[in-house]
Amino acid sequence: MSNFFERLLGRGPREASAHTAKERLQLVLIHDRTDLPPAVMDILKDEIIEAISKHVDIDRAGVEINLTQTRRENRLVANIPLLDAPGGGRKRRR
């Protein structure tokens, strides 16, 4: 019924603010719970990249480091793509 009137009045469906609230809460709470603010995460990411780069070539642009949560357990999840060793190793399959 309300959708019908919204269409009649030419109003598109508005982004529900509750959805925005939930997303923002989930993000802020991960940082609250771990006492790890977003800015510190950026520093952490740079330092992890540096540390790993000393030993192996990585695709720096492809590095993803995120805080995730399941129930009340928080985790730091890193996805770090490695590059082929120059010369040596086997060809990377695409």
In the complex, the residues that contact another protein under the rule CB under 8 A are 16-19, 21-22, 24-26, 28-29, 32-33, 71-72
- Strand, coil or helix: 73: strand
Tokens 């060793």 locate to 85
Amino acid present at 14: R
Contact 81, 63 (CB under 8 A): yes
Least distance in Å: CB of 20 to another protein? 9
- Give min distance, CB of 21 to another protein, in A: 5
Q: Which is nearer to another protein, 4 or 61 (CB)?
A: 4
What whole-number distance in Å separates Cα of residue 57 and Cα of residue 70?
31
Q: Which is nearer to another protein, 28 or 76 (CB)?
A: 28
- The Cα 40–Cα 47 span in angstroms is 11
State in angstroms the smallest separation of the CB of 4 from another protein. Answer: 14
Of 28 and 40, nearer to another protein (C-beta) is: 28
